[in-house]
Chains A and B, each alone.
Chain A
Amino acid sequence: MSGVIQNPSVKVRIPTPLRKLTNNEELVYINALTVDGAINALQTRFPGIQERLVDDKGEVRRFVNVYVNEEDIRFLKNRETPLKDGDEISIIPAIAGG
């Protein structure tokens, strides 16, 4: 067998405030091994998106919630959360109480 082993293909849901950077695309498919890798892959495709999501120390901004398959990554392995084919990442701003 030949060919390069591809990183898992995952779907990313882009929130409204970031769609100016993704040419209004709401769903984006990328290949990445971890959430961190996914943020890097997004940055390669949509320059400028990384600094919206992480601060200068590389931490996910405190008002950004990231979910993998509907689970908050803070209940998983944060940025090191591993990804597999078909996973879905949602990026969602924190919202108020109710």
Chain B
Amino acid sequence: MKALKCRECGREYPLEATHVCEFDFGPLEVAYDYDRIKKSLTKAAIESRPKTMWRYRELLPVATEPTVGRQVGFTPLIKADRLAKELGIRELYVKNDAVNYPTLSFKDRVVSVALSRAKELGFDTVACASTGNLANSVAAQAASAGLKSYVFIPSDLEQGKILNSLIYGANVIGIKGHYDEVNRLCAEIAGKFGWAFVNVNMRPYYAEGSKSMAYEIAEQLGWRLPQHTIVPMASGSLLTKIHKGYQEFVKLGLVANSETHIHGAQATGCSPISVAQKAGLDFFKPVKPDTIAKSLAIGTPADGFYALKVMRDTNAAADDVTDDEIRDAIKLLAETEGIFAETAGGVTVGVAKKLIASGKIPKDSSAVICVTGNGLKTLDAVNGYCGKAREIKPSLREFEALLAQQEKVNA
């Protein structure tokens, strides 16, 4: 790490808990000394290290060894042949962060970085504004690190996501409003209390954790960039960081500079970025979210401008899917690959299907779908849509009758 740098005007700031340029409110980003990193971060060095996101430690913003979430990351990259056949594409992979450690979403990556850095900066209390997954990860990793935590969520979140924060003893505050309102309140709270708010004053460090997903994809593909990557968009941050991760690998000579397209996926009920992308605009109009994909329900996406720019620069597309399409896609992924994704995963698979069908992702190409969260946390979304268990008495006769009936139905 060299400094924090404004993405808009380039002004530099010291490496503290601060996230906004005082001059133009542009987001601050961590700047690195790539010439120095290039000397130590070779393929051989990386391959010799433990299989976690921290094998790329030089590219993650901590000053010393990480102290929180050292086991996070290096989730499976699955070659998804059965799903590829269904979607009609030559080669398809699923990057499966539904099994990330410890809380089953990609947020474990960003929180591991944010809390390691928060400890370096001397904080004893951490907090976040969250649509659920982030809250779960902050609650869990704060508990294991012995930090106090406050997590702020929209009060109408899925039960699973609320319980998954409460169990760790976090202070869970449900806000009667949507995420953008939680966000606004947290920006005000963060200005008042001396806490490490992972996605407010710790955001420059936090957001960098997402890059590890890109590094892993490139390494797991055999040190190359995928032709196409499909990424879910809430604030748009993950998409921009996947792009940054790929670019850094090119800059360090770890992969060849091949053509790579990074496509964005949203839910139709909250699609400010995909609507703007489809209309060819470089700015978005905020919306009031209404979708079952609650983890993506951000109507005022902070990184929307940069996400639109990445899609423009990589000659990529965006699209969005309805609640029904999301459920269908969750089922499709589960039935073809045995992966149960949360609603955001349904969004990504559903949009991948659309982009392949429309030819925006060519059928003879190779693509990676990023699944960022686990279906066990959003059971409400599919309850009643995947059939019911059939009940019988513990009798062989009843089971044979049931099978016979089923054969009749299938015939």
Residues of A within 8 A of B (CB): 13, 15-18, 20, 26, 52, 61-65, 67, 70, 72, 74-75, 90, 92-98
Contact = CB atoms under 8 A, between A and B. Distances in A.
B184 A98 contact: no
Interface stretch (B90-98, B126-134, B162-170): B126-134
Given A15-B191, A96-B207, A97-B238, 5 more contacts: A17-B25, A94-B300, A96-B27, A97-B303, A98-B298
A16 B191 contact: yes
Given A52-B25, A64-B25, A70-B184, A97 B234 contact: yes
Interface stretch (B52-60, B175-183, B257-265): B175-183
A-B pairs with lowest CB-CB distance, top 3 = A97-B235, A94-B302, A98-B130
Interface string B98-126: 00000000010000000000000000000
A48 B180 CA distance: 29
B181 to A, nearest CB: 7
Given A17-B20, A95-B203, A96-B207, A65 B236 contact: no
Contacts of B200: 95-96
A92 B180 CA distance: 11
Contacts of A52: 22-25
A13 B191 CA distance: 11
B25 A61 contact: yes
B186 interface: yes
| Most chain B C-beta atoms within 10 Å of own C-beta, residue among A20, A64, A90, A96 | A96
Interface in B236-263: 236-238
23 contacts: A15-B191, A17-B22, A18-B22, A26-B191, A62-B283, A62-B305, A63-B20, A63-B27, A67-B184, A72-B180, A74-B286, A92-B187, A93-B19, A93-B25, A95-B186, A95-B203, A96-B235, A96-B302, A97-B199, A97-B234, A98-B129, A98-B133, A98-B135
B377 to A, nearest CB: 14
A98 B128 contact: yes
A20 B286 CA distance: 30
B187 A15 contact: yes
A3 B298 CA distance: 48
Nearest to B25: A63
A74 B301 CA distance: 13
| Most chain B C-beta atoms within 10 Å of own C-beta, residue among A17, A20, A26, A74 | A17
| Most chain A C-beta atoms within 10 Å of own C-beta, residue among B183, B234, B285 | B183
Contact of A93 (B20, B180, B303): B20
Contacts of A26: 191
A98 B134 contact: yes
Contacts of A20: 22
A72 B24 CA distance: 19
Nearest to B107: A98
A90 B300 contact: no
B26 A63 contact: yes
A88 B129 CA distance: 22
Nearest to A67: B184
